[in-house]
Chain A
Amino acid sequence: MLKVKRINCCLGKNLILKDISFQLIKGDFLGIAGPNGSGKTTLLRTISGILPLTKGKVYLERKDIGKIDKKGIAKKIAMVPQNTFINFPFTAKEVVTMGRTPYLHRFERERKKDLKKVKESMLITKTWELRDKKITEISGGELQRVVIAQALAQDTELLFLDEPTSHLDINHELEILSLITRLNREHLLAVILVTHNLNLVARYCKKLILLKEGKIYAQGEVEDVLTSENIKNVYHIKALVKKHPLTGSIYTLPLCFDGKKENIRKKERIHLICGGGSGSTLMRELWDRGYEVSVGVINVFDADFETATLLNLPVVGEAPFSPITDESYRKNLRMIRDSEVTILAEVPFGKGNLLNLKTVKQALKERIKVVVINKTPIQERDYTKGEAMQIFEDLKRDGAVFVKNEAEALSLIEKTLSPDSVI
């Protein structure tokens, strides 16, 4: 339907797009993502025939788009811009009716079939009840729906959307993208969605083009393109990419900035004992502050294990659902000996991880500083019939510092380990 063949595009003297090629077929839902200035919008304007190409060709149904007149293109491609400002009080219906412009001759009044199409588009987008309202007096979400209704009234096979929801509330965003997904599925409308929001792409698009500095960095199925590796290379951030159990689509979670971290790295090492997600936040906070962090002992596939792997931290892992073995215990103890401070996160204790608690006791004996986070009383997270509680008492007696929460632990560590500190 749309074929883009090795195009270049210049704005002034700057080469904005370099050697872009892709194809779009009926029923496709293509996302175009990339950082600011990577050429997303320019690409959209180029392939819809607004900007001239400096190299390459764009084919619309096998015809060179440069040789099709504007009205001809308008019958094939509709566009929903980021925002629309209309200063004069047209009614919503008048605005949607303008979508029929490519089909009407000069002086020709809208025919029955035009008005039918207008009504149909307004019903799909739930704007029919707004038909007599003035466009200058409706809300941003309503206006964007009216603009989409206009694009639908244009009766095209291709729909381009340029950041269509970036000014909208999340409920309107969801509403509009669900609507577009439905049109894509039921009417086989081919859609191109330009957005900076990777999670929108992940959730709604089937294919994705990731742009970097005017070139295609990666393209293909969303799951293949949207990887931690690609995100790191394009956006320079570390991001978590996971399949969300509820939506079934992948989502990304930016974690931290990737560059410049090295020069604020601190030498102090902190060992974290955690599990079940209890240490993830603290792990990232410590990592962000530039400490060397090691973690242990946690089961593989544990939430904390994933965080540690993601942050590339040394971690002592244990097989899933298995109790801690002696070997892991010793490894863990070695890491504790290498660190200045050991933090015990708020973990529930069962038979499987009781050894972790015993490691801490051993560490205290070896005069290693221990900070214990103790928000939920140990009684409530002791599943060892009192054994853990007993060791907790020992820890208190042996001089472990008990704090109320993660923030307190962090400030305590910063105070203790800062170079000008007396302690």
Chain B
Amino acid sequence: MLKQRNKVIGFLLLIGIITFCVSLSIGSVSVPVRDILKMIIYRLPFLNNWIKNEPAQKYELIILSLRLPRILLAMLVGSGLATAGATMQGLFRNSLASPYVVGVSSGSSFGAALAILFLPGIFSVPLSAFSTGLITIFLVYRISQRGTRVSIETLLLAGIAVGLFFSAITSLLMYVSAQSAHYLVFWMMGGFGGGNWRNVIASAPFIGFGIPAIYYFSRELNVMQLGEESAIHLGVEIEKIKKILLILSSLITASAVAVSGVIGFVGLIIPHITRIIVGPDHRILIPVSALIGGIFLIWCDSLARTIIAPVELPVGIITACFGAPFFIYLLKR
């Protein structure tokens, strides 16, 4: 399969570009793909010499300020969650693990809830969600540490425990503050309704750095599937790599949650589907998961904003609607 990696990736890139253009054009106002291409190319250096007459101005606001950042954000979050999911599944050697398994989502939700209730602002919510997400993973890590070693099983259990704790506090906050509860619920369902350039710029560095960084360790992830002790015997510095991968995937997850809320199932099912298509080798699983995750979430978001337009559905509902039946299918298989 590794031999066909470039072919698969090339094919997915092509689909990605098509997805991008189509999803830019559809919506409450449909914009012809030709105009969109013109508009984008016109903004790029060098290439803009091709365009003879200036593109129509009327779509500019819709495309460049509303749809483009939103779609970029969906792509980033989708790729990020899928990669983090593939990493967690590899780390836990369990195909039922997801990016949220160590409690990052609950931690971030708690942070978001705090910010929404006590310190509302454009920056404060994602910032608070991001930092509590990281604090959670740090906490979980410290709990499961014995000397210099970290047992994966304890990590999982600690993640569940800490996650439940934060969920409980978040519920409590929601319960006592009736008027902001609606916004909080909406945030927790996940969506790109608030997608803007600021969010793209805030999350792009983490996700853009995180995915290649994880890819860098894909051989070690493969060897770890033999079990920790066997991996050590093959020369893998297991404790160090576990730590690095955990931090990287948590960074990605926390920044994704911070800008888009808790979007379920992407991180669980995308690595699954990818493994069925390209096999379990992380050297191909990681990049292909990222691509498929990005494409999948762009489509889900497009559906979420067009299916009952002008009303928007939270994208988390769409991914779960697709994700849950597929997940059940996998369990039953």
Question: What B residues does A104 contact at CB under 8 A?
Answer: 219
A373 lies within 8 A of chain B by Cβ: no
Contact residues, A92-116 vs B (CB, 8 A): 94-95, 98-99, 101-102, 104, 106, 109
Whether A101 contacts B279 by the Cβ 8 Å rule is no
CA distance A77 to B229 in the complex (A): 13
Q: How far is the CA of A45 from the CA of B232 in the complex (A)?
A: 11
| Residue-wise interface mask of B (85-104) relative to A, using a CB-CB cutoff of 8 A (1 in contact, 0 not) | 00000000111000000000
List the one stretch of B234-242, B244-252, B253-261 in contact with chain A.
Answer: B234-242
Q: Is the CB of B232 within 8 A of A94?
A: no
B275 lies within 8 A of A81 (CB) = no
Q: How far is the CA of A109 from the CA of B237 in the complex (A)?
A: 20
Shortest Cβ distance from residue B120 to the other chain A in the assembled complex, whole angstroms: 44
Interface readout for B263-296 with A: 1 if CB under 8 Å, 0 if not? 0000000000001000111000000000000000
Would you call B227 and A79 a contact (CB within 8 A)? no
The 10 closest A-B pairs by CB, nearest first: A74-B235, A88-B280, A71-B235, A102-B235, A79-B233, A101-B234, A70-B235, A87-B93, A98-B223, A90-B280
CB of B216 within 8 Å of the partner chain = yes
Whether A89 lies near B280 (C-beta < 8 A) is yes
Cβ contact of B281, chosen from A50, A69, A74, A94, cutoff 8 A = A94
Asked if B223 contacts A88 (CB within 8 A), the reply is: no
Chain A 67-78, CB within 8 Å of chain B: the 1/0 string? 001111111011
A-B contact pairs, 5 of them (CB 8 A): A69-B235, A81-B229, A84-B226, A98-B223, A101-B219
**Residues in B whose Cβ lies below 8 Å from that of A69:** 235
Q: Which B residues lie within 8 Å of A90 (CB)?
A: 222, 225, 279-281
Distance between Cα atoms of A50 and B234 in the complex (Å): 12
**Which residues does chain B contribute within 8 Å of A74, judged by CB atoms?**
233-235
**Inter-chain contact A70/B232, CB cutoff 8 Å:** yes
Query: Chain B: interface secondary structure?
Result: loop
User: Which chain B residue shows the least CB distance to A108?
Assistant: B219
Assess whether A121 is interfacial by the CB under 8 Å rule.
no
CB within 8 Å of A: which B26-67 residues: none
Range class of the A interface residue count: 20 to 34
Shortest beta-carbon distance from A154 to chain B in Å: 7
Say if the beta carbon of B230 comes within 8 Å of chain A.
yes
B219 CB contacts on chain A under 8 angstroms: 101, 104, 106
Residues of B within 8 A of A109 (CB): 2
Q: Are B279 and A75 in contact (CB under 8 A)?
A: no
Tell me the A residues contacting B by CB distance below 8 Å.
Answer: 45, 48, 50, 69-75, 77-79, 81, 84-91, 94-95, 98-99, 101-102, 104, 106, 109, 150, 154
Out of B95, B234, B279, name the residue touching A87 (CB < 8 Å).
B95
Q: Quick check: A77 and B281 within 8 Å, CB to CB?
A: no
Chain B nearest CB from A108 CB (Å) reads: 9
Whether A154 lies near B234 (C-beta < 8 A) is yes
| CA–CA, A65 and B326, complex, Å | 49
Return the contact of B230 from the options A73, A81, A89 (Cβ within 8 A). Answer: A81
Known: A87-B225, A98-B223. A50 touches B94 (CB 8 A): no
Residue among B223, B226, B227, B279 with the highest chain A CB neighbour number at 10 A: B226
User: Across the interface, do B233 and A77 meet the contact criterion of CB distance under 8 Å?
Assistant: yes
Instruction: Give the distance in Å from the alpha carbon of A106 to the alpha carbon of B226 in the complex.
Output: 19
Q: Are the C-beta atoms of B95 and A79 separated by less than 8 Å?
A: no
Considering the complex, give the chain A residue whose CB is closest to the CB of B233.
Answer: A79
A104 to B220 alpha-carbon distance, docked (Å): 11
Q: How far is the CB of B235 from chain A (nearest CB, A)?
A: 3
Given A90-B280, A94-B281, A106-B219, A99 and B229 touching (CB < 8 A)? no
Chain A residues near B216 (CB-CB < 8 A): 106
Q: Which residues of B contact A91 (CB under 8 A)?
A: 279
Contact A101 B236 (CB under 8 A): yes
Among A78, A85, A89, A99, the residue within 8 A (CB) of B227 is A85
Q: Which one, B2, B225, B233, B234, contacts A86 given CB within 8 A?
A: B225
Q: Which residues of B contact A78 (CB under 8 A)?
A: 233
CA distance A94 to B222 in the complex (A): 9
Least CB distance, A167 to chain B, in whole angstroms? 15
- CB-based nearest A residue for B283: A107
Q: Please tell me if the beta carbons of B226 and A86 are within 8 angstroms of each other in the complex.
A: yes
Tell me, in angstroms, the Cα distance from A102 to B234 when the chains sit together. 6
Residues of B within 8 A of A79 (CB): 229-230, 233
Note all chain B residues with C-beta closer than 8 A to A102. Answer: 234-235
**Would you give the shortest CB distance from A98 to chain B, in whole angstroms?**
5
Least CB distance, A145 to chain B, in whole angstroms: 15
How far is B222's CA from A85's CA once the two chains are assembled, in angstroms? 13
Q: Which residue of A lies closest to B3 (CB)?
A: A109
**Judging by beta carbons under 8 Å apart, are B227 and A84 in contact?**
yes
List chain A residues, Cβ under 8 A from B233. 48, 50, 74, 77-79
A71-B235, A150-B226 given. 6 additional CB < 8 A pairs?
Answer: A48-B233, A50-B232, A70-B235, A81-B227, A89-B279, A154-B234
Give A265 Cβ to nearest chain B Cβ, in Å: 48
Chain A residues contacting B94 (CB-CB under 8 Å) are 87
A98 touching B234, Cβ below 8 Å: yes
How far in angstroms is the closest Cβ of chain B from A159? 11
Contact in complex: A99, B280 (CB < 8 Å): no
Q: Are B235 and A73 in contact (CB under 8 A)?
A: yes
The answer to whether B237 touches A70, judged by C-beta atoms less than 8 angstroms apart, is yes
Chain A nearest CB from B153 CB (Å) reads 13
Instruction: Provide the bound-state CA to CA distance between A315 and B234, in Å.
Output: 59
Neighbouring A residues of B230 by C-beta, 8 Å = 79, 81, 84
Which residues of B are found within 8 Å of A73, using beta-carbon distances? Answer: 235
- Cα A119 to Cα B279 in complex, Å, equals 21
Q: Tell me the complex Cα distance, A109–B236, Å.
A: 17
Closest to A91 in B: B279
Q: List A contacts of B279 (CB < 8 A).
A: 89-91
Kindly state the separation between the CA atoms of A81 and B230 in the bound complex, as whole angstroms: 7
In angstroms, Cα B238 to Cα A50, docked, is: 11
Closest Cβ neighbor of A70 among chain B residues: B235
Contacts of B93 on A, CB cut-off 8 Å? 85, 87-88
Closest to A72 in B: B235
Closest to B146 in A: A12
What is the bound-complex CA distance between A87 and B275, given in angstroms? 12
Task: Provide the bound-state CA to CA distance between A281 and B222, in Å.
Answer: 55
